Amino acid sequence: MQDENGCTTTVQIFNERIHKPIYRVGVYSSEGDDKVHVMYDNVFAKYLTATAGRKFDPPAEFEVVPVTLSSLMELADLEEVDFMFASASVFSCMATEQYAQALVTIINHREAHGYSYDLDEYG
């Protein structure tokens, strides 16, 4: 199959043993559920559904689930979230307690004393 840019893409036939019709992204925020949806639905629900989701037949969907640290741990234990987006401190807890692994990280750009830094690790 070719996409609108002429690139060849492979579509995965849905296999209920390894695929899900809906993938849930737990998004940590201390600012409330409504703020999470306003800030992250476009990228984690709409964009992933429109891009990664269409690589499956039938297409998969992605949805945002607002979480706290304790609810994220509980949902991870119950396998009710598939991915998470959280601060480095929350990720540290999840990596230690739930064996979470990073797929991607955000690079924060900081400037101090006339120097620029791209920070991609927490320490």
- Predicted confidence (pLDDT) at residue 123 exceeds the cutoff of 60: no
Residue 9 lies in a domain: no
Residue 54 lies in a domain: yes
Domain CATH code at residue 55: 3.40.190
Structural tokens at position 84: 């998470």
Residue 2 lies in a domain: no
Provide the whole-model pTM: 0.77
Residue 15 lies in a domain: no
Separation in Å, CA 74 to CA 60, 68, 77, 94, 103: 24, 10, 5, 11, 21
Residue 12 lies in a domain: no
Residue 25 lies in a domain: yes
If one counts the domains in the chain, the total is 1
Q: Kindly report which listed range (9-13, 73-77, 78-82) carries the lowest average pLDDT score.
A: 9-13
Q: What is the pLDDT of residue 8?
A: 65
Range of the domain at 93: 20-119
- Predicted confidence (pLDDT) at residue 88 exceeds the cutoff of 70: yes
Residues 122 and 92 sit within 8 Å (Cβ to Cβ): yes
Pick the most confident of 4-13, 66-75, 97-106. 66-75
Residue 13 lies in a domain: no
Residue 6 lies in a domain: no
Residues 33 and 21 sit within 8 Å (Cβ to Cβ): no
Percent of the chain whose pLDDT exceeds 70: 89
